[in-house]
Structure 1
């Protein structure tokens, strides 16, 4: 069965979907971080949505493109350019991620690519990724950091020409995961 796949820039109305997909793509790490930021009657999801609602920062609705399947919002990609100057290291949890990101200066960084489970296998993730890659300036590379063992994601990126550049041990903190390493993939 053929499906109508499309994309559009995210709007503030997409923030709840963004927060859900960011946590899904992050395998629960975002929710763990947001839980530590809760104040008063907020829920971790409230924190995530507030962060997605910002006009600035990597995790902002302004950096997101929403993918649709047959007119329904079902996926999202968030990208931004990696700084050419290395980012300073912050909390321990982020040290390996920032170290890896700093190894791909000037690239288009795929921060999040996620599709809701009921829309997987229809080509939406591949479509969103290919569109983002096609929009890069000539000569700009692309990069992504994945948790090692995410075989479906690795297969998608490898099929589009990404190659593994480096790995770093994962710092878990309060995050309940069986993952042990972060993997940096780069497309030149």
Structure 2
């Protein structure tokens, strides 16, 4: 593995984070960003505003960046799931509902919201290092994440690191193109 440093993201990392967030969601994020964008604003502009802000779940303030000698190579966004998660808002887009339902099945865990590495940096141990780093955010009931059923490479990594499939939900696509059919909740106790 190359020399690796994991640091808190800063506002200037937003341009780097946006495509990695979209990659981690297999393009679902970009579709949702396009739907939520203001008239005349494109999906990437909307996402950049959200990541550069301090309130959104994808804010740089909740992100970590992995760096090697080659530069920025991956990212992690994590948060805790409370013991009693709030009810899912009725206005939540249908495509996100299954993801939130799965999060609700992992109360009291540290939740890995985004873990992504640059394509040319994969296979070098960066994802494993980010997963290990995430352990500091472990909740009383362990760690959790959600992954697409067709993302076999990521699932194999998570299984090697001690995560086990716990529950699934059907994907709601509404025009989103994905080879997957189900979201899989994985938990490490």
For Structure 1 versus Structure 2, the TM-score category normalised by the shorter chain is: over 0.9
Q: Aligned-pair distance for 1:83?
A: 2.3
Contact 2:149 2:180 in 1 (8 A): yes
For 1:37 and 1:103, the matched residues in 2 are separated by 27
Matched residue of 1:113: which SS?
strand
* 1:59-74 correspondence runs (5 A): 59-70=58-69, 72-74=71-73
Deviation at 1:140, TM superposition (A): 4.5
Structure 1 stretch 170-179 or stretch 34-43: which is displaced more?
Answer: 34-43
Residue in 2 that maps onto 1:3: 2
Give the conservation status (yes or no) of the 8 Å contact 1:4–1:71: no
Q: TM-score, normalised by structure 1?
A: 0.93
Which whole-Å CA distance do the structure 1 matches of 2:129 and 2:4 have between them? 8
2:127: which partner in 1? 125
Q: How does 1:75-114 map to 2 (within 5 A)?
A: 75-89=74-88, 90-114=92-116
The CA distance in 1 between the partners of 2:36 and 2:56, in whole Å, is: 17
The count of residues paired between Structure 1 and Structure 2 equals 186
Contact 2:109 2:138 in 1 (8 A): no
Is 1:178 the counterpart of 2:167? The answer is no
TM-score by length of 2: 0.93
Unaligned 5+ runs, structure 2: none
- Quote the Cα distance in structure 2 between the aligned partners of 1:34 and 1:137: 29
Counterpart residue number, 2:26: 27
Matches within 5 A, 1:43-54: 43-54=42-53
1:137–1:187: structure 2 CA closer, same or farther, 3 Å change rule?
A: closer
2:56 counterpart of 1:57:
yes
